[in-house]
Structure 1
């Protein structure tokens, strides 16, 4: 017997759970809140997510990261000035009052929260950061080819610098809310893109 067929869209259910995790965090999101948001019962939940809340959270991060990286990659690729796109992407992080989905705040916060929970999650978070680094590296290589950048720095290292900035700004935003200070920090870090 094959079991009961799924009567819900898992991707859509994970997307709805992501909103709960985004607003409540992993630790404070209750099973009831997640099930209500996802519109499914406990039985369906545990059939789809045998690892429970942790598996759902990992799937949420992966799905969000894939969507974020695809959008980011397309946006950079389609921009006329890829370096300026990157600059504006980072500078807007200073002015975001709340955790904006388009800036990847959910992912940044999740990486900070979960990166030390266990080895599997640590590997997942490292892979997600590597994907972002690849997007930045490709943009930097393109900018060097089109002479939008004059730097002699290794594009891979520059991309890691940007990935580190992206990751770090999400940590700093937890302590510092001043857009002026955040913008100054970001501008200082972006001065390497010349």
Structure 2
């Protein structure tokens, strides 16, 4: 009979997510994971298969949490443009308030790996596709209610919003303050 696990795998995935988010995949060594998680290398490999498998679990956890958070923000009541404004400003404020300036783990992964890893590209694109569908549905709702102009196709406006969000997440990693990000948000909303 094997020894019982001396750690909670869910907690370990959460801790690993924080490490990968902060340091990236390449910047996170197996030893760093072992030290931070407080487990032996054997436990790391037995429980998760290795660094890459743990990264995949951590990224999935991040993607699921981000999707749920975006859905919650955008499902609030009120005019669509106001809901979008609250969501965009909250994303920017949260990222700018993060003293480590981690940005978005999904966008960081896209930048780190690009097209070099099909599984990671698919995972990030899945999140972007889901966000695009949510944003398109919101734009359509706003157009029906007269809150958003019908001058542009909802698919095009959703792509603009998605590009704004992903750009904000990357910009917040290096921007010294909120001025330029706020201008980008306000201009995007004015175009709607």
TM-score tier by shorter-chain length is: 0.7 to 0.9
Q: Kindly indicate whether residue 119 of structure 2 is the aligned counterpart of residue 120 of structure 1.
A: yes
Q: Is the 8 A contact 1:111 1:125 kept in 2?
A: yes
Number of the residue aligned with 2:52: 54
State the SS of the aligned residue for 1:97. helix
How far apart are the structure 1 equivalents of 2:115 and 2:64? Answer: 21
Q: TM-score when scaled to structure 2?
A: 0.81
State the SS of the aligned residue for 1:157. helix
* Aligned pairs (5 A) from 1:14-33: 14-33=13-32
Cα distance, 1:38 vs structure 2 = 2.9
State the SS of the aligned residue for 1:153. coil
How far apart are the structure 2 equivalents of 1:98 and 1:167? Answer: 17
> What RMSD, in angstroms, separates the aligned Cα atoms of the two structures?
2.8
How far apart are the structure 2 equivalents of 1:185 and 1:133? Answer: 19
Higher relative contact order (CA 8 A, sep 6+): 2
Change (3 A) 1:46 1:69: same
> Which has the larger displacement, 167-176 or 10-19?
167-176
How far apart are the structure 1 equivalents of 2:42 and 2:134? Answer: 39
Q: Kindly indicate whether residue 139 of structure 2 is the aligned counterpart of residue 140 of structure 1.
A: yes
Number of the residue aligned with 1:106: 105
The count of aligned residue pairs is 190
Structure 1: unaligned runs, 5 residues or longer: none
* Aligned pairs (5 A) from 1:32-51: 32-50=31-49
Structure 2: unaligned runs, 5 residues or longer: none
Q: Is the 8 A contact 1:68 1:104 kept in 2?
A: no
Cα distance, 1:6 vs structure 2 = 5.4
